[in-house]
Amino acid sequence: MNAIEVQGLTKRYKKSVVAVEDASFTVPQGTAFGLLGPIGAGKSSIINMLLNFIRPSAGTIKTLDREIPAQFHEVRHRIGYLPERPGFYGNFSAERNLRFFANLSDVREEREEKIKKLFKLAGLEGKETTLVRAYSLGDRKRLGIAAAMLNEPELLILDEPSTGLDPQGRRDIMALIHELNVHDVTLFLATHNVRDIAEICDVVATMRAGHVAAPTTTKDFVADVRGKTVQLEADIANINERILQAIRSVKGVKSIQCEGLKISLEYRPGINEDVNYVITRAGGRLRSLHESPSLEEAYVRKMGGRTR
């Protein structure tokens, strides 16, 4: 079954601005679907139509087998939503906010236990009684995820979950989201960050200026973006022949340039971890290991340096 089916979806604002044009795609249940596009591509407009916040100008939407907008009220209790910048009642504590939304989401039995669990899951323990207006954006996003999880949704719709976070906050949030998908929650994730896609999504559809391209698997997409060959730049404190030998043994290695230790190899998912593993096993003290160009750089290059 499909969690989302979209056909010919179009959104015009004030006649002239076409934010989404003739978009069609399906999201099978259980997948992590990524909508990747630059700022202003129309990602939020699609999400806002999926959630009945705005009305489509044309086209049809089916979410969990119900027509949107007509039957939205029949499925909304099965959907969770993380806004790009989650809004809460700033004068209330985080706990009071969650309790309020829990009451609206029909969480009655074991409400307090559930809220406690979600604070833990979201990494907000100890901040339960803090007023939300004192929360950082990162903490707001965590609280947003907790709020989106209150009703144990089958489908979680996330608008730019990683935007505006520091590296650590980003990693935590993405791990949290990935964990949910592992436990069978269908994800619909809009982002302009290609790393979000690579880390979490099974399927990706790119979006540009209102147009949604046909979805592909993330594997194919990443391979297409970075090409067949990737270069890894390693900084090893105690480089020696034994370590080099170990690196040469990794499957797909094409050449090793000892100056600055640049390793060219055939790309496959997890290649980074593999190289890291053999170096460490050979007694190498790895100071850093990164892909060059990074996935983001490769993506920007592929898009011809355009951001719109």
Ligand X SMILES: Nc1ncnc2c1ncn2[C@@H]1O[C@H](COP(=O)(O)OP(=O)(O)OP(=O)(O)O)[C@@H](O)[C@H]1O
Cα distances from 15 to residues 11, 19, 57, 173, in angstroms, run 9, 10, 10, 38
Is residue 50 involved in binding ligand X (CB under 6 A)?
A: no
Radius of gyration in angstroms for the set of CA atoms belonging to the chain, rounded to a whole number: 22
d(CA 278, CA 265): 14
Closest by Cα among 91, 96, 186 to 147: 96
- 28/40 with CB nearer ligand X: 40
Q: Which of residues 177-206 bind ligand X (CB under 6 A)?
A: 192
Is residue 101 involved in binding another protein (CB under 8 A)?
A: yes
Q: Which of residues 14-33 bind ligand X (CB under 6 A)?
A: 14, 17, 19
Token pair, residue 118, equals: 């979600």
Is residue 51 involved in binding another protein (CB under 8 A)?
A: yes
Task: Give the binding-site size for ligand X (rule: CB under 6 A).
Answer: 13
Nearest 5 degrees, angle CA 56-CA 62-CA 63?
110
Quick one: which of 3, 9, 42, 141 contacts ligand X (CB under 6 A)? 42
The single-letter DSSP state of residue 108 is -
Token pair, residue 10, equals: 């179009």
Token pair, residue 292, equals: 């060059």
Neighbours of 164 (CB within 10 A): 15
Q: Which of residues 26-65 bind Mg ion (CB under 5 A)?
A: 44
Binding partner selected for residue 39 from ligand X, Mg ion, another protein, none, CB under the kind-specific 5 to 8 Å limit: ligand X
What residue ranges bind Mg ion (CB under 5 A)? 44
What residue ranges bind ligand X (CB under 6 A)? 13-14, 17, 19, 37, 39-45, 192
What residue ranges bind another protein (CB under 8 A)? 48, 51-55, 73, 76-77, 79-81, 83, 85-92, 100-101, 103-106, 147, 151
